[in-house]
Amino acid sequence: MEGLNIPLNHILLVSTLLFSIGMLGLMIRRNIIFILMSLEVMLNAAALAFVAAGAHWGQPDGQIIFMLILTVAAAEVAVGLGLVLQVQRRFKTLDMDSANRMRG
Amino acid sequence: MGDMIWLVPLIPMLSSILLMLGSGSLPRVIIGLLGVCSVGAAAVLTLLVGLDFLANPQPFQMTLWTWMQVGNFSPGIAFYFDGLTLVMMSVITGVGFLIHLFSTEFMEEDVSYARYFAYLNMFVAAMLVLVMADNLLLLYLGWEGVGVCSYLLVGFWYQNSANGQAARKAFVVTRIGDTAMALGLLLLFTQLGTLDIQAMMGVANEQWQVGDTLPLIACLLLLGGAVGKSAQLPLHTWLPDAMAGPTPVSALIHAATMVTAGVYLIARTNGLFLLAPTAMMIVALIGLATSLMAAFTALMQSDIKRILAYSTISQIGYMFLALGVGAWTAGIFHLMTHAFFKALLFLGSGAIIHYLHHEHDIFKMGGLRSKMPVTFWSFMIGSAALAALPMTSGFFSKDQILLQAYLQPDAGPWLWLGGLLGALLTAIYSFRLVFVVFFGEAKTQPDGDTGWRMALPLVVLCGLAMVGGYFIIPVAEVFPVASGEHPANWVEYVSISVPLMGLLLSYLIFHSGQLNVDKLVNSSLGQWLRRFWHSGWGIDWLYDRIFVRPYYRLSGIMVNEPIDAIYGLIVAINQTFNHWLAESQTGRMRWYIASMVFGLILVLTLALQISAEAL
Amino acid sequence: MVMVNLILILLLGGVIAMLSERAGENIPRRVALVVIMLDLAYLLSELWGMPSLTQLQAPMPDDPSTWLMHFKAQWIPAFGISIELALDGISLLMVLLTLVLGAIAVSASWTDIAVKHGFFEANLLWTLAGVLGVFMALDLFLFFLFWEVMLIPMYFMIAIWGHENRGYAAMKFFIFTQASGLLMLVATLALVKVNHSATGQWSFSYFDLLNTPMPEQTAHWLMLGFFIAFVVKLPAFPFHTWLPDAHTQAPTAGSVILAGILLKTGAYGLIRFAVPLFPEAALDFSWTAMALGAAGVVYGAVLAFSQSDFKRLVAYSSVSHMGFVLLGVYAWNELALQGAVMQMVAHGFSTAALFMIAGSLQERLHTRDMREMGGLWQQMPRMGAVAMFFVLASLGLPGLGNFVAEFLVLLGLFQISPWITAVAALGLITGAIYSLILMQKSFQGEPNPKLQDHGLVDFAGREMLTMTVMMVALIGLGLYPQPVLDMAQPVLQSLLEMTSVEAMP
ipTM of the complex: 0.90
Q: Looking at the complex, does the CB of residue A56 fall below 8 Å from at least one CB of chain B?
A: no
Q: Do A30 and B594 touch (CB under 8 A)?
A: no
Q: Do B558 and C302 touch (CB under 8 A)?
A: yes
> What's the mean pLDDT when you consider all of chain B?
86
Distance from CA of A96 to the nearest CA of B (A): 8
Q: Do A96 and B588 touch (CB under 8 A)?
A: yes
Q: Which of C168, C172, C231, C241 to mutate to test the interface with B (most CBs of B within 10 A)?
A: C241
Out of B542-556, B572-586, C213-227, C491-505, pick the least confident: C491-505
Q: Looking at the complex, does the CB of residue B160 fall below 8 Å from at least one CB of chain C?
A: yes
Q: Do B588 and A30 touch (CB under 8 A)?
A: no
Q: Which domains does chain A have, with CATH numbers?
A: 9-97 (1.10.287.3510)
Chains with at least 3 CB pairs less than 8 angstroms from chain C = B
Average pLDDT over residues C391-416: 91
B186 vs C305, C404, C410: nearest CB: C410
**C324 falls within a domain:** yes
Average pLDDT over residues B307-328: 90
Whether residue C372 is predicted with pLDDT greater than 50 in this model: the reply is: yes
Whether residue C505 is predicted with pLDDT greater than 50 in this model: the reply is: no
To the nearest whole percent, how much of chain C has pLDDT over 70? Answer: 97
Can you give the pTM of this predicted structure? 0.87
The whole domain housing C316 covers 278-505
Q: How far apart are alpha carbons B276 and B217 in whole angstroms?
A: 9
Single-letter code of the amino acid located at B422: G
Out of B445-459, C254-268, C456-470, pick the least confident: B445-459
pLDDT at position B497: 84
Q: What is the DSSP string of B96-151?
A: HHHHHHHHHHHTTT-TTHHHHHHHHHHHHHHHHHHHHBSBHHHHHHHHHHHHHHHH
**C49 falls within a domain:** no
A79: burial class by Cβ within 10 Å (0-12, 13-18, 19+)? exposed
Distance from CA of B91 to the nearest CA of C (A): 24
Whether residue A70 is predicted with pLDDT greater than 50 in this model: the reply is: yes
Q: Do B586 and A100 touch (CB under 8 A)?
A: yes
Q: Which of A38, A39, A91, A100 to mutate to test the interface with B (most CBs of B within 10 A)?
A: A100
Nearest CA in chain A to B597: A23
Tell which wins on pLDDT, B181 or C49: B181
Residues of B in contact with A23 (CB under 8 A): 593, 597
Q: Do A100 and B587 touch (CB under 8 A)?
A: yes
pLDDT at position B187: 92
Q: Find, among B87, B187, B206, the residue nearest to B136 by Cα.
A: B187
Q: How far apart are alpha carbons B306 and B491 in whole angstroms?
A: 32
Out of B133-147, C93-107, C203-217, pick the least confident: C203-217
Q: How far apart are alpha carbons C131 and C98 in whole angstroms?
A: 8
**C385 falls within a domain:** yes
Residues of A in contact with B589 (CB under 8 A): 35, 96, 100
Q: What is the DSSP string of C135-164?
A: HHB-BHHHHHHHHHHHHHHHHHHHHHH--T
Tell which wins on pLDDT, B475 or B285: B285
Distance from CA of A102 to the nearest CA of B (A): 7
Residues of C in contact with B179 (CB under 8 A): 425-426, 428-429
pLDDT in tens, C96-152: 999 999 999 998 888 878 888 888 889 999 999 999 999 999 899 999 999 988 889
Average pLDDT over residues B252-258: 87
Residues of B in contact with C238 (CB under 8 A): 563, 566
pLDDT in tens, B149-208: 999 999 888 888 888 888 999 999 999 999 999 999 999 999 888 888 888 888 888 888
SS3 B67: coil
**C172 falls within a domain:** no
Confidence of residue C503 (pLDDT cuts 50, 70, 90): very low
Q: Do C479 and B77 touch (CB under 8 A)?
A: yes
Out of B464-468, C51-55, C214-218, C241-245, pick the least confident: C51-55
Whether residue A69 is predicted with pLDDT greater than 90 in this model: the reply is: yes
Whether residue B366 is predicted with pLDDT greater than 80 in this model: the reply is: no
Whether residue A3 is predicted with pLDDT greater than 60 in this model: the reply is: no
Do the beta carbons of residue C416 and residue C424 sit within 8 Å? no
Do the beta carbons of residue C125 and residue C11 sit within 8 Å? yes
pLDDT at position C504: 40
H or E stretch including C379?
helix C376-379
| First-residue to last-residue Cα distance in chain B | 104
Q: How far apart are alpha carbons B332 and B539 in whole angstroms?
A: 28
Q: Do A96 and B586 touch (CB under 8 A)?
A: no
**C477 falls within a domain:** yes
Q: How far apart are alpha carbons B166 and C476 in whole angstroms?
A: 32
pLDDT at position B266: 92
| First-residue to last-residue Cα distance in chain A | 58
Interface of A with B in 13-32 (CB under 8 A): 23, 26-30
Q: How far apart are alpha carbons A80 and A33 in whole angstroms?
A: 9
- Detail the DSSP E strand segments found in B250-295: none
Q: Do B593 and A101 touch (CB under 8 A)?
A: no
Residues of C in contact with B186 (CB under 8 A): 410-411, 414, 418, 421
To the nearest whole percent, how much of chain B has pLDDT over 70? Answer: 99
Nearest CA in chain B to C296: B563
pLDDT at position A22: 92
Nearest CA in chain B to A31: B590
Residue C72, φ and ψ in degrees, nearest 5: -145, 130
Q: Which of B583, B584, B589 to mutate to test the interface with A (most CBs of A within 10 A)?
A: B589
Q: Looking at the complex, does the CB of residue B571 fall below 8 Å from at least one CB of chain C?
A: no
Average pLDDT over residues B303-311: 89
pLDDT at position B1: 66
pLDDT at position A91: 79
Confidence of residue C187 (pLDDT cuts 50, 70, 90): very high
Q: Find, among C323, C313, C222, C221, the residue nearest to C267 by Cα.
A: C323
pLDDT in tens, B83-97: 889 889 999 999 999
Confidence of residue B482 (pLDDT cuts 50, 70, 90): low
pLDDT in tens, B431-444: 888 888 888 777 77
Distance from CA of A24 to the nearest CA of B (A): 9
Q: Do B179 and C410 touch (CB under 8 A)?
A: no
pLDDT at position C408: 93
> What's the mean pLDDT when you consider all of chain C?
87
Q: How far apart are alpha carbons A16 and A11 in whole angstroms?
A: 9
Q: Do A102 and B587 touch (CB under 8 A)?
A: yes
H or E stretch including B489?
helix B489-506
Whether residue B224 is predicted with pLDDT greater than 60 in this model: the reply is: yes
Whether residue C420 is predicted with pLDDT greater than 70 in this model: the reply is: yes
Distance from CA of A101 to the nearest CA of B (A): 6
**C244 falls within a domain:** no
pLDDT at position C52: 62
Q: Do B590 and A23 touch (CB under 8 A)?
A: no
Residues of B in contact with C443 (CB under 8 A): 158
Average pLDDT over residues C162-180: 89
pLDDT at position A104: 43
Whether residue A1 is predicted with pLDDT greater than 60 in this model: the reply is: no
**C320 falls within a domain:** yes
pLDDT in tens, B146-157: 999 999 999 888
Average pLDDT over residues B7-33: 87
Chain C meets chain A (3+ C-beta pairs below 8 A): no
SS3 C133: helix
Q: Do A100 and B590 touch (CB under 8 A)?
A: no
Q: Find, among B502, B251, B498, B531, the residue nearest to B399 by Cα.
A: B498
Whether residue C51 is predicted with pLDDT greater than 70 in this model: the reply is: no
C398 vs B145, B551, B555: nearest CB: B145
B563 vs C238, C338, C426: nearest CB: C238
DSSP state of B66: E
Residues of B in contact with C397 (CB under 8 A): 144-145, 148
Q: Looking at the complex, does the CB of residue A97 fall below 8 Å from at least one CB of chain B?
A: yes
Do the beta carbons of residue B318 and residue B375 sit within 8 Å? no
CA atoms within 13 A on the CB side of B254: 35
Q: How far apart are alpha carbons C466 and C501 in whole angstroms?
A: 45
Residues of B in contact with C399 (CB under 8 A): 141, 145
Residues of A in contact with B597 (CB under 8 A): 23, 27
**C100 falls within a domain:** no
C410: burial class by Cβ within 10 Å (0-12, 13-18, 19+)? buried
pLDDT at position A65: 92
Q: Looking at the complex, does the CB of residue B190 fall below 8 Å from at least one CB of chain C?
A: yes
Looking at the 3D structure of chain C, how many domains does it have? 1
The residue count of chain A comes to 104
B474: burial class by Cβ within 10 Å (0-12, 13-18, 19+)? middle
